[in-house]
Amino acid sequence: MSRIGKKPVPLPKGVKYKVEGNTVVVEGPKGKVSTLVAQGITLKTSDGHVLLERASDDQAAVHGLTRALVANAVQGVTKGWSKELDIVGIGYRAELKGRGTVVFTLGYSHPIEFPLPSGIEVAIDPKQTHLTISGVDRQKVGQVAADMRALRTPDPYKNKGVRYTNERLKKKAGKTGAK
């Protein structure tokens, strides 16, 4: 029994949804997000909530998933999603070039230009070591943050690199001078 799938998704004022084939398009004040709906799952509106119902128990595995995707789309068009990254290391920094490119200096022999996909915004603090990635699509925000972190993952010995804010890292001990 899917407990998540049974929960209604609250639909705030100004948010509309439309089912087109096997996708649902959610529109709100911050933008528009489309997400897939599994076959056999239907959406119904009742007193300001969206209810997802499945045709049979064959769709039990995707019932909760579809509800979570619709809830993420609704939150994305109302509040938006954001991820924060920290850059740690001497000389490591990021700067915005134009509107759609972030240039990273991460200790390599060349700067790395990272083009931003549409619908994603990046804010960089004045110290150029803290980035805030925001957008309406949760999956896209998370993927961009993961791609930026992959440019220089944190080193296990000195913890230098790009990491998520509040990410806990295990620092390894270096070599010992014992004979």
163 confidence band (pLDDT: 50, 70, 90): very high
The reported pLDDT for the residue numbered 2 is 61
Instruction: Tell me if residue 28 falls in helix, strand or coil.
Output: strand
**C-alpha 16, offset from chain centre:** 22
81-164 CATH: 3.90.930.12
Separation between Cα atoms, residue 81 and residue 22, nearest integer Å: 24
Give residue-wise pLDDT tens across range 42-61. 988 988 898 888 888 888 88
Residue with tokens 């439309």: 18
| Mean pLDDT, range 123-131, rounded to an integer | 93
CATH topology of domain 3-78: Outer Surface Protein A; domain 3 (3.90.930)
Domain with CATH 3.90.930.12 in the chain: 3-78, 81-164
Separation between Cα atoms, residue 42 and residue 17, nearest integer Å: 13
CB 160 within 8 A of CB 154: yes
State the helix-helix crossing angle for 138-150 and 60-78, rounded to 10 degrees. Answer: 80
Give residue-wise pLDDT tens across range 63-120. 999 999 999 999 999 999 999 999 999 999 999 998 889 999 999 999 999 999 999 9
| Residue 152 scores a pLDDT above 70 | yes
